[in-house]
Amino acid sequence: MEIRECFTQSGLSENAGDVQNAIQTNTSHACSNTETYKLAMSCIMDITRTCLKTAGLDTAILPDPQQMTDGLLYICDHIAGLIIVLAILLDEDM
């Protein structure tokens, strides 16, 4: 069974799409709502893990949830500096 079939057969296709959309939001939204964003990441990872198991596939391909959370927090902690550096670099190119 493919992952897509698993989502459809389990009735999660609509919910999974909603959660996936939440995860794919822009960084500023994610950083202003870190708890909601982390919850969405956790939810989609749990759904994906369940579907991988149902399909008989290895769940080891999924990233570690704690590393994903740590990565999000790192980006949010440093985004202001990254934006300033980017603005300086873009200004120098003009």
Per-residue pLDDT of 18-72, as tens digits, reads: 554 554 456 777 788 888 878 878 888 888 888 888 889 899 988 888 888 888 8
pTM here is 0.55
Q: What's the token pair of residue 39?
A: 């919850």
Work out the angle at residue 59's Cα, subtended by the Cα atoms of residues 24 and 69, and round it to the nearest 5 degrees: 40
Residue 74, CB-side half-sphere exposure with 13 Å CA sphere? 6
Residue predicted with more confidence, 80 or 34 = 34
The residues spanned by each domain of the chain are 3-93
Say if residues 16 and 4 touch (Cβ distance below 8 Å).
Answer: no
Helix (H) or strand (E) holding 90: helix 65-93
C-alpha 63: how far from chain center: 10
Distance CA 86, CA 89 (A): 5
pLDDT of residue 24: 47
